[in-house]
Structure 1
C-alpha cells in the first residue's frame, strides 16, 4: 500500500470513528486534543462491555483500528508525523504513526485498554507521545 493510500485509509477510519462515537455513544468527537478524554470514556465503556460479554475478535479489531485512527489523526494534526505499516510479521501487520524515529501504535493501545487495563489513559498516552516526539 502506498503512503497516500494508507493516509487516506486512516483518515476514512477516523471519520468512521467520529460517526461511531456519535451514533453508538452519543459523543461528539471534534478532532481536538481535549476530545481524547471522550475516546477514553468510549474505551472504558467498551472494556466494561467486554467484561460482561466477550465480543468477536473482528469487532474489537475494527473498533481499535477506527479509534486508533482517530487518535493518530489528532496526533498528526497537533504534532506531525505520518502513518506507516509494519509488515515484518506478515501474519500480524500493524499500522502506527511515525514521527521522526518514534513509533506510536495507537490502535494497539486501544486494544490493550479494552482487553487488559482500563486504568490507562489514551489522552495521557498521547500527551506523553507528544512529549517524546519532541525530544
Structure 2
C-alpha cells in the first residue's frame, strides 16, 4: 500500500472514530491531546460491554482500528511521525505510526484495552511514545 493511500485510509478511519464516540458516548473528540484521556474512558466502557456481550472478531478489529487511527492522528499532529503499513510478516500485517526507527501500533493498544488486562492505559502508552521520540 502506498504512503498516500495508508494516510488517507487512516485519516478517514479517525473521522469514523469521532462519529462512533459521539454516537456511543456523546463525547465530541477534537484531535486535542486531552482527547486521548477521553478515549481511555471509551475503552473502559467498551471493555465492560465486551465482557457482557463478547464482540465478534470483526467488531473488535473495527473498534480498535478506528480508535487506533484517531490516536495515531493525534500523535502525528501534535508529536511527529507518519503512517506506516508493515507487511514484513505477510500473515500479520499491521498499521502503526512510525517515527524514525520506532513503530507505535495504537490500534493494538486499543484492542488490548478492550479484551484483556493491559499493562498501561492508552494515555500512558501515548505519553511513553512521546517520551520515546524525544530520546
Same fold per TM (> 0.5)? yes
In the alignment, structure 1 segments of 5+ residues that lack a partner are none
In the alignment, structure 2 segments of 5+ residues that lack a partner are none
TM-score by length of 2: 0.96
Aligned residues: 135
Provide the C-alpha distance between the structure 1 equivalents of 2:93 and 2:49, rounded to a whole number of angstroms. 27
1:90 positional shift:
1.7
Aligned ranges 1:9-88 → 2 under 5 Å = 9-88=9-88
1:111 has 2:103 as partner: no
1:120 positional shift:
2.6
When the two chains are superposed, the root-mean-square deviation of aligned CA atoms in Å is: 1.1
Provide the C-alpha distance between the structure 2 equivalents of 1:72 and 1:62, rounded to a whole number of angstroms. 15
1:57-111: per-residue Cα shift (whole Å, max 9, x none)? Answer: 0000001000000000000001110000111222221100000111100000001
The answer on whether the counterparts of 1:44 and 1:118 sit within 8 Å (CA) in structure 2 is no
Q: Secondary structure at the match of 1:33?
A: coil
TM-score by length of 1: 0.96
4+ runs deviating over 4 angstroms: none
Q: Secondary structure at the match of 1:90?
A: coil
Provide the C-alpha distance between the structure 1 equivalents of 2:15 and 2:61, rounded to a whole number of angstroms. 16
1:119 positional shift:
6.7
Provide the C-alpha distance between the structure 2 equivalents of 1:16 and 1:134, rounded to a whole number of angstroms. 30
The answer on whether the counterparts of 1:84 and 1:97 sit within 8 Å (CA) in structure 2 is yes
